[in-house]
Amino acid sequence: MSTISGIGATTGLLASVVKSAETKEAIEVAVLKKGQDVAKASGEAALNLIESAAPQKIDVHV
C-alpha cells in the first residue's frame, strides 16, 4: 500500500467512525425524546383520570 492510498484509507475510516458516532448520538437523542413524550402523555392521562373521577375540582397544578 502506498503512502497516498494509506492516507485515503485512514481518512475514509475516520469519516466512517465520525458518521457512526453521529448516528449513535442521533439515535440516543431520539430515544430520549420518545421517553419524554411517553412520560408527558402518561402524566396527562393521569391528570385526566383524576379530574374525571373527582366529584369536585382538584388543584393539580403545583
The CA angle 14-16-19, to the nearest 5 degrees, is 110
pLDDT tens for residues 1-58? 455 566 667 888 899 999 999 999 999 999 999 999 999 999 999 998 888 886 766 6
Evaluate if residue 61 carries a pLDDT over 80. no
What was the pLDDT predicted at 52? Answer: 84
Q: Which of 22, 15, 23, 20 is nearest to 7 (CA)?
A: 15
What was the pLDDT predicted at 50? Answer: 85
What was the pLDDT predicted at 1? Answer: 46
**Reported pTM:** 0.58
